[in-house]
Structure 1
Amino acid sequence: MVMMSAKAAVTCNDVTNDTFPCLSYASSGGAQVPSSCCAGVTRLNNAAQTTPDRQTACNCLKNLARTFSFKFAGDIPDKCGISIPYKIDPNTDCTKVT
């Protein structure tokens, strides 16, 4: 019997593609999050159903937030009405995401 470890199906490429419409809002803020951003975050959240997938998505979002100084990225889930199990922040400990 071969034991297989859990491997994330969500990749950083998926995260980048799904959150691309969010880049402007994440860096500059604004009155409203674009609907295409909310759709992408919803798609990503729906795809990340396992702990490895959620941790991968968390790490990718954390790195994007750090790399691009996204001051408003953490506001996106609430403004889109989406509940994700971590904060989009460069200081999030993604190993604690389950």
Structure 2
Amino acid sequence: MKKMRKIALPLAIFALGIGSAYASTASDKTESAIQNGFRYDPMAPVGEECVETTNSCSTEFNDEICTYTDSSGQHNLFDQGCVNVLFKIP
């Protein structure tokens, strides 16, 4: 019984540590995947073409692209810098 306790207790603590580390890492990824979208405005002054919106979008691939609608129509939303397209939050 003493041998089993000497082996089982460290294994249980190790497993608990691994589980906790995985859980905290998974939640960090989800939080960082959501961000405000930016729309490209070709009529804006040079260097200010990428305009932030209040629409929340995801960086994780999805079938639906995140969009923004204003008086001039519907626009795709991008990440900061207007480089990568963003997707609707599922």
TM-score (norm 2): 0.30
More strand by share: 2
More helix by share: 1
Larger radius of gyration: 2
